[in-house]
Structure formats: structure tokens, C-alpha cells
Structure 1
């Protein structure tokens, strides 16, 4: 990092304070950027349309490099408390937004947790498909999977989400 900014290592460590602080700053920058992008996607959109916009943003808009950063963050967080804490902050934001959007669609409170879990699994799974043994899923294939999910959750026409008939 010192070489990159044209400073000595001692200058960097004087201002940064150590490895954990440097790691936290770098990861928080990425997380704050992603959270700001997600919030921007939600501007002017409500209910089911906002839920779809947020999920589709998470799955379809990031480039491969962004997905690689997130995959590394998730995998690295297991043994790195600093990474785990930063990822938990993002996950808290995500879950709060998704739960709120699910509530806005009219879903009953007992079903919000299950619906949030389903959406988390789908989003995580579709991000990981980008690294499928050198044959990543195309955005079109991911979009088809999301379209099937919206239909299953009765969101294909932006109807109110109902998990139980």
C-alpha cells in the first residue's frame, strides 16, 4: 500500500495503526460502496418492485471483480474477525432492507424470516454460479432463474408476495 500511494511504510503505519485497521478500512470502503449502490437502486421504488430491484441489483449488476471480492470476503471471514465483523454489518443492512421490503409487500410476519432466508440462498447461489468451474452462468441465465423465483413467489407481475396459497 505504501508504494501505491508514494509513501514509506512508516508513514502508512503512523496513520493506519496496524494490519487490522488497514483491513477494516479497505473492506469497509467496499461495503459502503455496495450499500450505497443498493440504496440508490431503491430510490423511488416501493414494495415488490423495490424487492425485485434490490435482489436483481445484487445478482445481475456487479461485475466479476466485485463478485470475486465478495466471495473472498465471505470465505476469508471465517478465520478473520475483522472481515467477519464488517461482513456482519453489511448482512445486517441487507437483512433489514429485505425484511422491510417483504413487509411492504404485505407478507405476514411469520413468513418474513423464511422468505428472507430463501432470497439470501438464491442471491448467494446465483453469485457463486459466476465461478462454476470456469463456465460461469451468464447474466441471462441468472435472470431466468430470478424470473422463475418471482413466479414461484407470485411476484412475476409485482403481485403481493404470498408463500402459502
Structure 2
């Protein structure tokens, strides 16, 4: 009798392995062989579900970026303009754990040389920019473009700078800096 395999669970297991490898060693270390070794399966088992490395990366990164998008959209639903802007940015800076921050840092670094990662990061950044600018425009600052650019640079910088010491800054420290940004922008 054939063994029943839950295909969705197998794909999730493979994608989780991609994330674990990328967080630990960067996306350059993500290979079909490394993923197979991580889950204790053959390379053909991985390619059966994912095809090749490009599909493997795209599927995994899209799952994670789509999850972040859904979380952010849900968090700001039914909020007023200023509270929605603050919550939207806090979702990026304060909610994710260290593992998630490391995944994003690995993706940003990997996007410099991997076209799949670049395309997926660009896809997410297009969404982020559209959402951020929409939230900023609703709070009506004096210069919406400047405010959106400052917030964007601040978010990127805080995520990357937080790793200078080998780990992201604690959420309390990030929240303190974010409060300073809101005051500086008059928000």
C-alpha cells in the first residue's frame, strides 16, 4: 500500500529548512543538497516538491513576505490614520523576533547577487512603499515624500544597524528610537 504524504506539510518542511539555512549561513548556502541534508531526505525528494533552486527560493521567500504583508495589513485594519502609520512601522521593527530579523537581513544581503531574491525583495518593497506612502499621506505631514523617505531609511537602517553588535537591538531600544522619530516628524 502506498505511503500517504501530506504535500503541504512536506513543502512547509522544505521551506522551513531554507529559512533555517539562510538565517544560519546566508542564502548562498541554500542548495538542494543542503536542504535535503537538513530535512533528512534525498535531493530528489526536494526537487519533487520544488523543482529547482529558483523555485525553492521563490516559494520560501514569497511565503515569508506574504505572511509579513498579511500581518501588517491585519494590524492596521480599522485604525485611524496616525495609529495605522505607527502600527504599520512597528510591525516591521518591533514585532518580529531575532530569527525573523536575521531572515530579512539574509534576504537583503543575498539580493545583491541572486536574481530570485532581488525580484522577491523588489516585489515586497514595492508593496511596502505603496503602503507606507498611503499611511503617511493620511496623516498629512507638511512634506509627505520627505516623511515617507525618512521613515523608510530609518526602518532599513535600524534593522541593519541592529546587527552591528551581532544581534538586533532589543525591542525596547528600537521602540525608544522609533518614538524619537515620531517626535522629530511631529507625529
Computed over aligned residues only, the root mean square deviation of the Cα atoms, in angstroms, reads 1.9
Partner of 1:125: 157
Length, aligned pairs only = 153
Distance apart, 1:40 and its partner CA: 1.5
Question: 2:107 aligned with 1:56, yes or no?
Answer: no
Question: 2:46 aligned with 1:12, yes or no?
Answer: yes
Question: 2:79 aligned with 1:45, yes or no?
Answer: yes
TM-score of the aligned structures, taking structure 1 as reference length? 0.83
Kept after mapping to 2: 8 A contact 1:41/1:54: yes
1:142-157 alignment, distance < 5 Å: 142-155=174-187
Kept after mapping to 2: 8 A contact 1:78/1:84: yes
Segments of 5+ residues of structure 1 without an aligned counterpart are 156-165
Kept after mapping to 1: 8 A contact 2:72/2:88: yes
* More RCO (CA 8 Å, sep 6+): 1
Segments of 5+ residues of structure 2 without an aligned counterpart are 1-34
TM-score of the aligned structures, taking structure 2 as reference length? 0.74
Q: Distance in 2 between matches of 1:15 and 1:148?
A: 47
Partner of 1:159: none
